[in-house]
Amino acid sequence: MKCVKTTLKGWREIPEGGAITEPGSSVNFDVTAWRTSSPVIDQEKCTKCGMCFLYCPDSAIEIDETGNYRVNISYCKGCGICAKGCAPKAITMVKEGH
Amino acid sequence: MVRRIGISGNYAVAYAVKMADVDMIAAYPITPQTTIVEKLSEFVANGELDASYMNVESEHSAISACVGASLTGARVFTATSSQGLALMHEILFMASALRTPIVMANVNRALSAPLNIWNDHSDAMAQRDAGWIQLWVRSAQEAFDATVESFKIAEETRLPVMVNMDGFIVSHMYEPVELPDEEEIRKFIPSRPLENRVSTKRAHAVGVVGPPEYYYEMKYQAIDAIEESRPKIKEIDNDFNSRFGKSYSEIDTYGIEEADAALILMGSIFGSAKEVANALRRDGKNVGVISLRVFRPFPVQELRRAIEGIRAVGVVDRATSPGGSGNPLYNEVATALYDMPERPVIQGFVAGLGGRDIREDDFRLMYDATQKAAREGAGRCIYVGLRE
Ligand code: SF4
Ligand code: SF4
């Protein structure tokens, strides 16, 4: 899924009381700036067990058309939970900017 | 037909809430508020009021329940005092930011310590930045009328309203109160279903996270709403006046037309202040009084207009802001008047903390000190009646 970055709304445009009136608004939210490291999946080691997909608190792990697990980096906050949960240690957290 | 009955300030509030046909009452007893929710429990128990009466385990829960119920579109009410209001603190900010039109009676009482159940204004002043509209009443009749108006103000501005009433002095004083017909009240505030904002029928989230990109804008909505409430409060009072023949402006004045010095105050001491001003005027002293009925939104323009030509004002605070540049009401008044081209000198007073009576001599002292300030400039805040 592609992250759709919307322009930020002004106070007059936001529904009263800061309510969210459209479902699925979190897809508009890019969390790249939160991350200090990103997960890199070694497809050779990956057994496709799907644990990273289940564990990721931000649903940043997606399955591509070839059946491989991939990180959608716009939604990844770099928490490292996927790497901890990966039994064959196929995921390495790599520091941003390295 | 208007009925004239003898009831206390607390009962006057309870009658207003009953006539407003509320859907839900969250109740937790605290002196001196208790008899409001006690009377309401009677109304519900004997079938005079069809409302859900929720006994909660604390004031924090009382106000939380009100926020939740209000989000479903229900008309809700709760009442509290002092420590109870303090315990509600964090939820008060949510109530205004989530735009829940809650009406709450706050029967003013001092904050501990030492433990004190008597009247001053420290409870409400500590919540002045919570984004609530604050009305201040001075009699049982005003308590009734303000509570009725509050439901309309709350629902039209989508902001919570706090009706403040002096503990014991108003809350427990039995006075004749004129009660209009319940039908007339219901015409004034029809039980129109507010929108249910937490219906499962549609996707809708309230109380969401406001990250740095959004918090500011969400907060500003409530700031704008309270600014916009100014003309609405006037309009609603005009409507009330045309139906029930009673009108309340943001500020009330007494004898200020030719005064060179005036006291500014809130709540039931307006009566004593007027009496003493009257006596002094007979002795040739030109003094007057200004009483605020609305504290939030602060009636800046109305106060400026009233103050024109007055050389000195004395601000009577019944709450303190220890270590501050002034006490709460003083600071509001000083800020409101600061950029007037010919502003008066402003003398601060603290009086009547923890239920200490403010007597005739105390008022004389304050009027004298304010007149002296007109001649010689204002001094430091005077703690009236404090024993050394
Ligand atoms: S690092 Fe955290 S957020 Fe990023 S993909 Fe892994 S679990 Fe999801
Ligand atoms: S947890 Fe590890 S092995 Fe399992 S799918 Fe994810 S990357 Fe592959």
Locate all alpha helices (DSSP H) within B98-139, ordered by sequence.
122-125
Strands B161-166 and B103-108: parallel
Instruction: Give every CB contact of residue B262 below 8 A, 6+ residues apart in sequence.
Output: B253, B256, B287, B288, B289, B290, B307, B310, B312, B313, B314, B370
Residue A77 lies in a domain: yes
Q: What is the mean pLDDT of residues B224-230?
A: 98
The CATH number given to B251-383 is 3.40.50.920
Q: Specify the CATH number for B3-244; select among 3.40.50.970, 3.40.50.2000, 1.20.1420.20, 3.30.70.20.
A: 3.40.50.970
Instruction: Give every CB contact of residue B276 below 8 A, 6+ residues apart in sequence.
Output: B360, B363, B364, B367
Structure tokens at B363: 């008022």
**Which residue, among B197, B217, B224, would best test binding to A if mutated, counting the most A CBs under 10 Å from its CB?**
B217
Probe ligand 1: pick from A46, A61, A95, max atoms within 8 Å of CB? Answer: A61
Domain range enclosing A87: 31-95
Query: Quick one: which H or E segment has residue B309?
Result: none
With cut-offs at 50, 70 and 90, classify the pLDDT of residue B1: confident
Alpha-carbon distance A63 to nearest alpha carbon in chain B (angstroms): 27
How far apart are alpha carbons B47 and B28 in whole angstroms? 21
The pLDDT score that the predictor gives to residue B346 is 98
Peptide bond into B69 cis (omega under 30): no
Our count of domains for chain A comes to 1
The residues that bridge with B254 in the sheet, in sequence order, are B289
Q: Which residue is closest to A6 within chain B, CA to CA?
A: B213
- Which CATH number characterizes residue A52's domain? 3.30.70.20
CB pairs under 8 A between A and B: 47
Residues of chain A with pLDDT under 50: none
Residue A8 lies in a domain: no
Q: What is the pLDDT of residues B98-121, one digit of tens each?
A: 999 999 999 999 999 999 999 999
Q: What is the mean pLDDT of residues B361-372?
A: 98
**Single pTM value for the model:** 0.93
User: Using the beta-carbon criterion (under 8 Å), do B217 and A21 form an inter-chain contact?
Assistant: no
The pLDDT score that the predictor gives to residue A3 is 62
Residue A44 lies in a domain: yes
How far apart are alpha carbons B133 and B159 in whole angstroms? 7
Candidate from B203-207, B262-266, B359-363, B368-372 with smallest mean pLDDT? B203-207
Which residue is it, tokens 């204002």? B378
SS3 B157: helix
* Structural domain boundaries in chain B: 3-244, 251-383
Q: Which residue is closest to A19 within chain B, CA to CA?
A: B206
Average of per-residue pLDDT values in chain B: 97
How far apart are alpha carbons B384 and B360 in whole angstroms? 12
- C-alpha distances (whole Å) from A6 to each of A13, A29, B213, B221 are 13, 8, 12, 21
Ligand 2 geometric centre to CA of A92 (Å): 11
The pLDDT score that the predictor gives to residue B163 is 98
How far apart are alpha carbons B45 and B112 in whole angstroms? 34
**Does this chain's domain B3-244 share its CATH topology with B251-383?**
yes
Residue A54 lies in a domain: yes
Residue B191 has pLDDT above 90, yes or no: no
Residue B331 has pLDDT above 70, yes or no: yes
With cut-offs at 50, 70 and 90, classify the pLDDT of residue B194: confident
**Three state DSSP letters for A8-72:** CCCCCCCCHHHCECCCCHHHHCCCHHHCCEEEEECCCCCCCCCHHHHHCCCCCEEECCCCCEEEC
The finding on whether A39 has its CB within 6 A of some atom of ligand 1 is: yes
Residue B246 has pLDDT above 80, yes or no: yes
Residue A51 lies in a domain: yes
The pLDDT score that the predictor gives to residue A2 is 61
- Which ligand is nearest the CA of A46, by number? 2
Instruction: Tell me what ipTM this predicted complex has.
Output: 0.86
Alpha-carbon distance A9 to nearest alpha carbon in chain B (angstroms): 8
Q: What is the mean pLDDT of residues B127-153?
A: 98
Residue A19 lies in a domain: no
Residue A23 lies in a domain: no
Structure tokens at B205: 């989230």
Ligand 2 geometric centre to CA of A31 (Å): 22
Instruction: Give every CB contact of residue B307 below 8 A, 6+ residues apart in sequence.
Output: B262, B290, B313, B337, B340, B343, B344
User: Using the beta-carbon criterion (under 8 Å), do A17 and B206 form an inter-chain contact?
Assistant: yes
